[in-house]
Chains A and B, each alone.
Chain A
Amino acid sequence: MDSTSSNTPTSTSQPDWARIDASVKVPVLFFIYAAAAWLVTASVLGFIAAAQLVQPAFLADCAWTTHGRIVPLARNALIYGWGFNAAFAVMIWMVARLCRTPAPKWGATLVGGLFWNAGIKLGMAGIIIGQSTGHFMLEMPAYAAAIMFVSYGIIGAGVTVIFSRRREGNMFASQWYALTAMFWFPWLFSIAQYTLVFGSLRGTSQAIAAAWYGHNVYALFLGPIALGALYYLIPKRVGRPITQYPLAQIGFWSFVFFGSFGGLATLVGSPVPAWVQTVGISANFMLLIPVFAIAINLGVTLLSGSKAGGSGPALKFFKLSVLSFVAVGGLSVVLSMPSLSHTIQFTFVGEALDQLHWYAFASFAFFGAIYFMLPRLIVRPWPSGALVTAHFWASVAGAIMIIGSLVLAGFAQGAAINDIEGYPAFADVVAASSGYLVALALGYLTLIVGHLAFFVNVVMAIYQACFSKPSDSAETVFSAPAAMEVNS
């Protein structure tokens, strides 16, 4: 579809985009497969953790499956397993497309990917047998982190090589986000590992460093890559340029600058110096600037051209992703008001915000991007339309149930424990939220259904690509789009 313009001479009959897609096909398909498999794992672990909140005896007899180990396992599978693999797939494909350069070689990237996933498996085994470091989002033992760090370097080097050979002079917003995120993560990861796991920080400053790292995995890696995918694929799907595109520059710089301090707001009410908490709350307020700019850029573009480009799940996922991005920006500000944070700080509401960041915003953007990418990589449509529909609706229903029940459970919990006059017993505080936790467990069951549908579809697609030749060439399967409409 993305036909080369007629005046660009190409050595082969294939259009540029088809050669680029073919050059990154193997590693990107591997990352999509690994991501989908981790996603199923994460939702199963998430369900077990939620079930243990409802029925504490569930799987509690064996140390390996106690709640304290299942929760970090679920989180690591979701973030490093699903999130990072999906981000790698999107990043490699998007950078190659926008630099209009086929990847020279893919072998090293594939090896990097294999080791990244081996590192996660090793790290999760370490958590299971009780070697967790105990730091939020850095639970995996140091030996696993070392493997992940090196394999990330290999994957990142592959993207850097593609970028250094770029044939397109203009840098588009998606490239700002994807390439900067690629360089930020090793910095975040190494500093956090050095200060927390290898240990030069003690006491309160550990909490500050962990909050900084945990939030920045979202704010400086998964979030920017998801935004990059949205900036690229929304105009591509609706056939119209980004509304008020110059705002994207303000949005980018303010998002990465203030976003990196936003995590400190999770420390409100904890024994850290008051000015640290103030920095976090101030950053959340300032984040209204990028939220506004990005909402205009992406939201208005989606609304203005939503009729073009046929139907399919990608645009629906993008709409929900942008909506969640705006919602989490607004909620972070509203919930940091002292009157509310007094009730909801250190309750399930914090996890609800994390799920809005990680799942409803970043993951939905990755889902949409994968629905767009994969048919082009395998040069044929998704194997099953029914599974696509099942995945979409189960993900949406599951996300609403999980986030909704966490918010309600958090408020119930916070209100019960703040009832000082009534001498609350701890058991009563737990009981106050237990009804909502049933809904949480059901939400995870719904997600398991949706993610299994997604995983089966991905496996069938890869199977087809491995064992049969596509019936048509890429430019016959995807017809060329019309020239982009501009009437600003």
Chain B
Amino acid sequence: MPRRKGTKMSQNENSDPRLEASAASDQDIQAVHAALLHDQQEPAQGYSLMPLFMLGFVSTMIFVVAIYFIHNRAGLSDGLGVATTIHHKGYDPQVHGGGEVEVEVDAIAVGKTLYSQVCVACHQINGQGLPGAFPPLVASDWVTGDEERLIKVVLHGLQGPIEVNGAPFNGIMPAFGPSGTYKWSDDKIAYVLTYIRQEWGNAAGEILPDQVTAVKEATASQTAAYTAGDL
């Protein structure tokens, strides 16, 4: 190794900070560093701890990251063909996908989301409705009582005068089934009904999507909203 014992960088006359004095020439920088790389390839004597430490560090990182990657490689395990199909213009999940997938749904959580997106506008966040126009959902026989009647109201809507918990109301409940503008699926209707039947102290049973489907098929001829008298 060329050990050029230079004098310690002399603080010469141009210590003006606006000049940014240089303390090494380009030739020196290149020659010294080339020698440092050369020494590494042909170690002269002894050994340095750094390459050993670096080897350990790099190996550890590769090991840890590989484990992390394997655990979080979702989509890659089925092969690159599947993993990259999102790029493909002709990709159709019906054809290329894995078919029916069983998904666990928390009916209360989904119902709460749906309720807070739509129903809350009239029936309010606390389910108390507004006097005269929108009936309360809390402790109401319409909600906790007959399941078929409740499903009918949400599927096809309800309008005209109605008495709930002793108070009169006169408003319009829109239809959420295929005849209305929302066109909610049977699942969605079942989830939001389960939610309102079990929230705010209500403690009625769950409503399953199949029940909604059954009522929908039985009342397929109904095209207009119900009145309280119909039910």
A residues near B (Cβ < 8 Å) are: 1-5, 16-17, 97-98, 100, 168, 170, 172-173, 201-205, 232, 235-242, 244-247, 249-250, 272-275, 277-279, 281-282, 285-286, 288-289, 292-293, 296, 305, 308-314, 371-372, 375, 381-382, 385, 388, 423, 477-488
**B20 and A98 form a contact (CB under 8 A):** no
Q: Please, could you name 12 A-B residue pairs with CB atoms under 8 Å apart, sorted by A? A: A97-B26, A100-B26, A172-B33, A204-B86, A235-B33, A237-B22, A241-B36, A274-B75, A289-B57, A310-B17, A314-B20, A484-B29
A273, A282, A477, A482: the one within 8 Å of B75 (CB): A273
Question: Contacts A242-B33, A275-B76, A285-B61 given: A309-B9 contact, CB under 8 Å?
Answer: yes
Shortest A465–chain B CB gap in Å is 14
- The minimal Cβ–Cβ distance linking B111 to chain A, given in whole angstroms, is 15
The answer, yes or no, to whether B73 is at the interface (CB within 8 Å) is yes
Distance of B203 from chain A, by nearest CB (Å): 22
CB distance from A178 to the nearest CB of B (A): 14
In the assembled complex, how far is the CB of residue B51 from the closest CB belonging to chain A, in whole angstroms? 8
- Report chain B residues within 8 Å CB of A485: 4-6, 8-9
| Cross-chain contact B29 with A236 (CB below 8 angstroms) | yes
Chain B residues whose C-beta falls within 8 Å of the C-beta of A371 in the assembled complex: 20
Q: How far is the CA of A4 from the CA of B28 in the complex (A)?
A: 10
B12 to A, closest residue via Cβ: A479
Can you list, as one digit per residue, whether each of B51-87 has a CB less than 8 Å from chain A (1) or not (0)? 1001001100110110011001111100000010011
> Given the complex, which residues of A lie within 8 Å of B58, measured CB to CB?
250, 289
Chain B residues within an 8 Å CB radius of A372: 20, 22
In whole angstroms, how far apart are the Cα atoms of A173 and B30 in the complex?
9
**Once bound together, how far apart are the Cα atoms of A205 and B224, in whole Å?**
45
B3 to chain A, nearest CB (A): 5
Select B26's contact among A2, A277, A312, A381, beta carbons within 8 Å: A2
Knowing that A235-B24, A247-B54 touch, tell me 16 more A-B residue pairs with CB under 8 angstroms: A1-B22, A2-B22, A4-B27, A242-B33, A244-B50, A274-B75, A275-B75, A296-B50, A308-B9, A309-B9, A310-B15, A385-B18, A477-B14, A478-B14, A479-B14, A484-B25
A278 near B11: Cβ-Cβ < 8 Å: no
- Is there contact, CB below 8 Å, between B87 and A482? no
B contact residues around A305 at 8 Å (CB)? 23
Is B68 in contact with A168, judged by CB distance below 8 angstroms? no
A100 and B21 CA atoms in complex are apart in Å by 19
Contacts of B42 in A (CB 8 A): none
* Residues on the B chain within 8 Å of A486, using CB: 1-4, 32
Q: Across the interface, which residues of A come within 8 angstroms of B75, CB to CB?
A: 273-275
The interface residues of chain A lying within 8 Å CB-to-CB of B68 are: 278, 281-282, 285
CB distance from B231 to the nearest CB of A (A): 33
Q: Are A381 and B8 in contact, CB atoms less than 8 angstroms apart?
A: no
Q: Give chain B's interface residues, CB within 8 Å of chain A.
A: 1-34, 36-37, 40, 50-51, 54, 57-58, 61-62, 64-65, 68-69, 72-76, 83, 86-87, 89, 116, 125
* Least CB distance, B184 to chain A, in whole angstroms: 22
Question: How many A-B contacts are there with CB distance less than 8 Å?
Answer: 207
Structural contact, A275 and B25, CB atoms closer than 8 A:
no
Other-chain contact of A237, B4, B23, B25, B26 (Cβ < 8 Å) = B23
Query: A423 CA to B112 CA in the complex, in Å?
Result: 12
Q: Please determine whether B22 and A478 come into contact, CB atoms closer than 8 angstroms.
A: yes
Contact present for B87 and A205 (CB under 8 Å): yes
Q: Does A481 lie within 8 Å of B25, measured CB to CB?
A: yes
A334 CB to nearest chain B CB (Å): 15
A313 to B16, CA, bound (A): 11
Q: Looking at the assembled complex, report how far the CB atom of B13 sits from the nearest CB atom of chain A, in whole angstroms.
A: 7
Once bound together, how far apart are the Cα atoms of A61 and B19, in whole Å?
Answer: 48
Query: Is the pair A480, B19 in contact by a Cβ cutoff of 8 Å?
Result: no
**Contact of A375 with B26 in the complex, beta carbons under 8 Å:** no
Q: Which residues from B are CB-within-8-Å of A250?
A: 54, 58
Partner of B36, one of A98, A246, A278, A281: A246
B73 to chain A, nearest CB (A): 5
Q: In the complex, A448→B26 CA distance in Å?
A: 35
Contacts of B24 in A (CB 8 A): 2, 235-236, 239-240, 481, 484
Cross-chain contact B86 with A170 (CB below 8 angstroms):
no
Residues of B contacting A249 with CB < 8 Å?
37
A381 near B19 with CB under 8 A, answer yes
Q: Is the CB of A203 within 8 A of B86?
A: yes
CB distance from A144 to the nearest CB of B (A): 28
When the two chains form their complex, are residues A98 and B23 in contact, meaning their CB atoms are under 8 A apart?
A: no
Contact A286 B16 (CB under 8 A): no
Contact B3–A2 (Cβ < 8 Å) = no
Cα-based distance from A292 to B50 in the complex (angstroms)? 12
Q: Kindly state the separation between the CA atoms of A97 and B29 in the bound complex, as whole angstroms.
A: 11
